[in-house]
């Protein structure tokens, strides 16, 4: 086989391989698009729900401000109330002291 006959054959194989890669890439892109569409159909568009939730939170914040002490929310008040009798802290301090001595 002559060198001139080998070149067109190599070019032809290269073209075929490039075509296979292009088709494979197109198929991957098509599958990604189909998967994204299925996800959107299954779960819907979340933007509307986010807006509803945001509006509800803003309404709750306004209600808290109107209902009384605007500087402290109910959670802030609960967090500042003492929890328990403090024995847990004392027990932890004793355990830390014992561990430090060892």
How big is the chain by its Cα radius of gyration, in Å? Answer: 34
- Name residue, tokens 């430090």: 100
Name which residue leads in pLDDT, 46 or 9.
Answer: 9
Is the per-residue pLDDT at 3 higher than 60? no
pLDDT confidence bin for 8, thresholds 50/70/90: confident
How do residues 39-94 score in pLDDT, each as one tens digit? 888 887 777 888 889 999 999 988 888 876 545 566 666 666 555 566 677 777 88
Name the region of 44 (left: φ>0; alpha: ψ -120 to 50; beta: rest). left
Q: What pLDDT is attached to residue 16?
A: 94
């Amino acid at each position: 086989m002559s060198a001139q006959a080998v070149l067109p054959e190599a070019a032809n194989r290269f073209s075929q391989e490039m075509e296979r890669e292009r088709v494979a890439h197109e198929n991957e892109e098509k599958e990604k698009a189909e998967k994204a569409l299925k996800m959107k159909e299954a779960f819907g568009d979340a933007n509307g729900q986010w807006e509803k939730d945001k509006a509800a939170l803003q309404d709750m914040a306004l209600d808290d401000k109107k209902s009384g002490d605007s500087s402290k929310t109910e959670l802030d008040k609960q967090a500042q109330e003492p929890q328990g009798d403090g024995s847990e802290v004392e027990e932890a301090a004793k355990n830390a002291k014992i561990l430090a001595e060892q």
